[in-house]
Homo-oligomer: A and B are copies of this chain.
Amino acid sequence: MKIALVQQNYHIGNFEYNTEKIIQGIQMAKEAGADLVVFSELCVCGYPPRDFLEFGDFISRCYDSLEKIKAFTAGIGVIVGSPAPNPDPNGKDLYNAAWFLHDHEVKAVVHKTCLPTYDIFDEDRYFEVGQDWRVIEFQGKRLAVTICEDIWNLGENPLYRACPMDHLMLQHPDLMINISASPFDYDHEEDRRAVVRQNVLKYKLPMYYCNAVGAQTEIIFDGGSVVYDAYGTCTHHMKIFEEDFQIIDTEIKYRPINKHTPVFTSASVLTPDQIIPYLTRRNNIREIHDALLLGIRDYFRKMGFQKAILGSSGGIDSAVTLALASRALGNEHVRAVAMPSGFSSSHSVDDATALSGKLNNPFDIIPIQPIFESFLSTLQPIFNDLPFSLAEENIQSRIRGNLLMAIANKFGYILLNTSNKSELSTGYGTLYGDMAGGLSVLGDLYKMQVYALAHFINQDEEIIPNSILTKAPSAELRPDQKDSDSLPVYDLLDKILYLYIERRKGPREIIAMGVDQALVERVLKLVNTSEYKRNQFCPIIRVSSKAFGVGRRMPIVGKYLS
């Protein structure tokens, strides 16, 4: 049997677009002589549809799409992802399902059993747990079809009570097919291939694994669909961060293309000293780079925008954001604006100018001193002679936010935010000022990772001026300000943040690893008392296993470690 895997980039709720893409995929598969063509999870509506699943109208449009797709299934088996109704009055109204279509008919519907409900996932919110497992017979083969998380319930402490493949094995399948919408993070691709391989080794069957690709707001689906033979060898792997199509003949024995299948390396066993090297290792940084380009590109395309604007301070964060945006959208589509205040050093403007000279993108210099003075004189009757404080620092940052938004509104740009994860974690930023923006590019990268990414961007050529990489970070909102006046040095800070945020270690555990108690308490308090700021922050392109935003849900008025 010839099986085609179609790895595509869908648009949530854009039924016409998704249906058209799926039909194109079917026709490509037909032309290539496929007997069966496999698409990814919930491809009909796009993943994750979130609360649109609560609208009867949205669900009936999924079924309308299935009808349209059915018309193209003469002589070919098609597996597509779509919600399916739960006919039992007990439980939730929907299943997350794989629909098997053939010769204009629905031949089978497979319900997802393991519903991820953690981090960015919410599937128990919408779907009932599948409890009925049947292989699909097609052209003399018995197919064990599962959906994404269904193959992840392995190990000593499984998250779910049921393991669908264990049940399906009782019906003697010939091969496994898994349709996924499995997102990228810099740990996850290795994990994913390790999990596919573990299934293959456990059940001694080949697996055809089809993943989605493309960014949905902050979540990056990286594709990387794979085929493993029954002996644990990866015989086919598809592109990452791009659409792809492959056709595989189940009867041909493929030579291994990769003898050294990656072995799952658990980042959870890192010692404190290993954390920064791990976070900044070259493989991670290269993948992060590609993920961020896809994230920027898809956000603009799916929102219907072409052009970005950002504040270019002469610092490392805005430099890296500008370089990435120029690569993602084209340098002519990214406008950089330097907005020096009276506290800005001359090298800041020089560095910003040099960077835009190198990238050849539109660049303006708008001094903010006159507006700042106008604020101060307007507020004089209220502030009187109180000393310069955080209030005056924030005024400057918010003037910049207002200027950038004004130009964005006037000419149709989206404002890119340039904050990094170390700042966002500790609340070291100004709401409505440097925290403004429609999309955060670096908000899931700790400062040390931003440096590593800058070096990666500069690997062949000095795009980001070296002076930006070497000077001490500063917000330049008061005379001679340095980040290190307010925050611990970044290699220490990032380590503590990683242990608390990604690894969810409590203060006692982090201290037991040898980190200074007062410092741990101070940092964790900063994180917990700045929830209210992050709550108003824009979507952050997610590249780690625990990004701020939809995947991390904290009380705002809580009083834990604060």
Which A residues contact B (CB, under 8 angstroms)? 11-15, 17, 46, 48-52, 54-58, 60-61, 89-93, 115, 117-118, 122, 124-125, 156-161, 215-217, 298-299, 302-303, 364, 366-368, 370-371, 373-375, 377-379, 381-383, 386, 389-392, 394-395, 398-399, 401-403, 405-407, 409-410, 431-432, 436, 438, 504-509, 532, 535-539, 550, 552-562
Considering the complex, give the chain B residue whose CB is closest to the CB of A438: B532
Contact A57 B507 (CB under 8 A): yes
Closest 6 CB pairs of A and B: A57-B506, A13-B560, A124-B124, A14-B559, A432-B432, A391-B409
Point out the residue from B368, B509, B536, B555 that lies within 8 Å of A12, measured CB to CB: B555
Contact A161 B378 (CB under 8 A): no
Contact B375 A13 (CB under 8 A): no
Q: Collect the chain B residues with CB atoms within 8 Å of residue A54's CB.
A: 504
List 16 A–B pairs whose Cβ atoms lie within 8 Å, in order of A's numbering: A14-B559, A52-B560, A93-B157, A216-B555, A302-B557, A303-B557, A364-B381, A366-B378, A366-B382, A367-B378, A382-B410, A394-B409, A395-B402, A402-B402, A405-B432, A431-B436
Chain B: minimal CB distance from A15 (Å): 8
Q: Collect the chain B residues with CB atoms within 8 Å of residue A508's CB.
A: 57
Rounded to whole angstroms, the CA-CA distance of A68 and B167 in the bound complex is 46
Q: Collect the chain B residues with CB atoms within 8 Å of residue A302's CB.
A: 557, 559
Point out the residue from B14, B90, B390 that lies within 8 Å of A409, measured CB to CB: B390
Chain B: minimal CB distance from A390 (Å): 5
- In addition to A124-B125, A550-B553, 17 A-B residue pairs with Cβ atoms within 8 Å of each other are A15-B560, A50-B553, A50-B555, A52-B555, A57-B507, A91-B161, A117-B117, A122-B122, A370-B378, A383-B410, A389-B410, A391-B406, A392-B406, A405-B431, A431-B436, A535-B538, A536-B537
Contact B378 A368 (CB under 8 A): yes
Q: Collect the chain B residues with CB atoms within 8 Å of residue A506's CB.
A: 55-58, 60
Please indicate which of the listed interface residues A49, A93, A215, A402 has the most CB atoms of chain B within 10 Å of its own CB.
A402
Considering the complex, give the chain B residue whose CB is closest to the CB of A162: B90
Contact B398 A91 (CB under 8 A): no
Q: Collect the chain B residues with CB atoms within 8 Å of residue A161's CB.
A: 90-91
Contact A11 B559 (CB under 8 A): yes
Q: Collect the chain B residues with CB atoms within 8 Å of residue A366's CB.
A: 378-379, 382
Q: Collect the chain B residues with CB atoms within 8 Å of residue A379's CB.
A: 366, 403, 406-407
Contact A555 B157 (CB under 8 A): no
Contact A557 B12 (CB under 8 A): yes
Contact B405 A394 (CB under 8 A): yes
Rounded to whole angstroms, the CA-CA distance of A156 and B91 in the bound complex is 11
Rounded to whole angstroms, the CA-CA distance of A451 and B12 in the bound complex is 37
Q: Collect the chain B residues with CB atoms within 8 Å of residue A383's CB.
A: 410
Rounded to whole angstroms, the CA-CA distance of A438 and B407 in the bound complex is 26
Rounded to whole angstroms, the CA-CA distance of A382 and B89 in the bound complex is 62
